[in-house]
Structure 1
Amino acid sequence: MNPLMRRFLFQTSLLTFAFFVLGYLFYFLLFPNWYIRFLPIALIFLFLVTNLVHYYLLRIAGKSMAKFTARFMGMSFIKMFIYLVFAISFAFFHRDQAKVFLINFLVIYFAFSIVEVCEIARVVKQKSN
């Protein structure tokens, strides 16, 4: 496995574990009435999609930096569309829990996006030097 992918997988695994621990503390100890059984599934979904997209982007960066920007933008659009469909579907079918779910989903999404953008910037910087 590519060392850059291994590093990213480690970072996202730590982030996922941290969200599981924080979710447990927040929802089981502080606010048990707000817990949604679907939140761990959403976290795993974000983890998997983020890692698959990152793996694809690393493969592109290894081949051609000229094509990287266009494919990065395309994959970002596709990923965001998938996330949007996922979040809206849940909110549509579980309207009573939509607010809590969407807030959690956005927090997790932003955390994974920050890690991903930092790592992609690092890869691009390495490849351009």
Structure 2
Amino acid sequence: MDIREATKGLKRKGSGFITVKQNGGKEHKFTSVDLHDFGNDKGGLMVGGDYETYHMIDFGYPARSTDGSHKAHYKKDFSDPYMTWSYSDREGMTHVADKGELNVTFSNYLNAAKGSYSFETKEGTKFEGTFDLKAG
């Protein structure tokens, strides 16, 4: 699923933050965020972005997630079709994950999520960060 299609109509009404570092560089913190569940059979989305730009980070969590602590491996633990993990930088380049890992603790019926993620593109670019989100 393409991020622009998945987020169509979402207004990033959540609260909290998502951080991102590219290849261990300077950390960027997004505070315009959302946590959105697409239903039991589809999983959900965590997204952070700068208002009115395509500078954003997005990654998902697997279908049938429940409150509690979980570890998931992208793409292995994600059903098809799954949400593409990606980072769109300030220069307009989109980096798409080839593999990744999500460590998350959900609470409040999937309306709060806290944890860390990392992913790598086919070209070897690495991204990592933390998040602490509440659905809007």
TM over 0.5: no
Task: Decide which structure has the larger Cα Rg and report it.
Answer: 1
Higher helix share: 1
